[in-house]
Amino acid sequence: MNATDLGEAHSRSEHPRARRMSRDQRREQLLGTALRVFSEGGYHATSMDEIATAAGVSKPVLYQHFPGKRELFLALVEFTLRELSERLEASLSAADTDKERVRNVIDTHFGFVCTSPVAHKLVFSADLMSFPEVAAQLDEFYERVAEAVAALLGPNAGIPALQATLLSRGLVHMVQSSAVFWVNHPDSGPRAEVQEQVFRLAWGGIRMLDEDRAEGAPRLSGDDHA
């Protein structure tokens, strides 16, 4: 189940008690309902009572799956980040060139904010001061995706693995923040146009690395001094 399906899970059964669900199915249904209720009322104003009522279950059933509201919220964050990272890794694997990989990373991120706006906003607009666990999950997400990007871009550009991860992390941050800005400011331009501009910015630097590699240009290292 993806984040779009998760956000709509509550609507697939008007009478959730009418049939028995497996534990995994019930968990997905509860996550979908919580996503909707959190998005409507905000985290702090939403109670577990409201989520249980909206899901058509008793509070004990809800607490069987999630010990508390915080744990439920963190489960939503984990689900969203896992799905997005899997989408990004799949888009990288489907590309044959660095140029295609950069385009795919951008398109996947913009696609995610379009198809899963509630889930994306919930995660990337979280109050990180109140949720240090979310900050840790975000850091792990960026690191995982950056390593996946670096594993492909680094060898092709001929740069050390750690430098490749550093640059890839910067790329992922830029694309993610651009996608969030665009979805919050749709008047900044049509999706295709905005993606092309972000691609030009990102690919300009990566292309230079590829060209330097092809030309055998000397590399900078930590031991070099100007």
- Please report, for the domain that includes residue 12, its CATH number: 1.10.10.60
226 in a domain, yes or no? no
pLDDT digits (tens, 9 = 90+) for 70-89: 999 999 999 889 989 999 99
Which position has the higher pLDDT, 86 or 13? 86
169 in a domain, yes or no? yes
Contact yes or no for 10/48 (Cβ under 8 A)? no
* Per-residue pLDDT at 226 exceeds 50: no
224 in a domain, yes or no? no
Residues 114 and 51 in one domain: no
pLDDT for res 53: 95
Residues 91 and 21 in one domain: no
Q: How confident is the model at residue 220 (pLDDT cuts 50, 70, 90)?
A: very low
Mean pLDDT of 81-107: 91
Q: What whole-number distance in Å separates Cα of residue 153 and Cα of residue 102?
A: 9
> Pick from 189, 168, 169: which is nearest to 179 by CA?
189
Residues 59 and 80 in one domain: no
Residues 40 and 96 in one domain: no
Domain boundary among the residues 66, 83, 102 is at 66
Helix ranges (H only) for 116-131 are 117-124
**Other beta carbons less than 10 A from residue 222's beta carbon:** 8
- Distances 221 to 66, 79, 85, 159, 166 between C-alpha atoms, Å: 49, 38, 30, 9, 14
Which position has the higher pLDDT, 142 or 161? 142
Q: What whole-number distance in Å separates Cα of residue 196 and Cα of residue 193?
A: 5
Domain boundary among the residues 21, 38, 66 is at 66
Residues 164 and 106 in one domain: yes
Residues 127 and 201 in one domain: yes
Residues 78 and 62 in one domain: no
Q: How many helices (H) and strands (E) does the chain have?
A: 10, 0
Domain boundary among the residues 41, 66, 91 is at 66
Cβ neighbours of residue 197 closer than 8 Å, sequence gap 6 or more: 189
- Structural domain span for residue 206: 74-215
Residues 180 and 94 in one domain: yes
23 in a domain, yes or no? yes
Residues 27 and 94 in one domain: no
* Per-residue pLDDT at 16 exceeds 80: no
Q: What tokens appear for 221 in the block?
A: 């290292």
Residues 206 and 116 in one domain: yes
Residues 26 and 51 in one domain: yes
Domain count, the chain: 2
Residues 133 and 32 in one domain: no
pLDDT for res 39: 84
Tokens 């490749």 belong to: 164
* Per-residue pLDDT at 158 exceeds 90: no
Q: What tokens appear for 204 in the block?
A: 């300009």
206 in a domain, yes or no? yes
pLDDT cut 90: percent of the chain above it? 42
DSSP-derived secondary structure for 14-63: S-GGGS---HHHHHHHHHHHHHHHHHHH-TTT--HHHHHHHHT--HHHHH
Q: CATH number of the domain at 195, please.
A: 1.10.357.10
* Per-residue pLDDT at 93 exceeds 60: yes
142 in a domain, yes or no? yes
pLDDT for res 154: 67
Mean pLDDT of 153-172: 81
* Per-residue pLDDT at 172 exceeds 50: yes
pLDDT digits (tens, 9 = 90+) for 115-147: 888 888 888 877 766 788 888 988 999 999 999
Mean pLDDT of 24-31: 92
pLDDT for res 213: 52
Contact yes or no for 29/70 (Cβ under 8 A)? no
Q: How confident is the model at residue 6 (pLDDT cuts 50, 70, 90)?
A: low
pLDDT for res 163: 85
Mean pLDDT of 199-221: 64
226 class by beta-carbon count within 10 Å (0-12 exposed, 13-18 middle, 19+ buried): exposed
205 in a domain, yes or no? yes
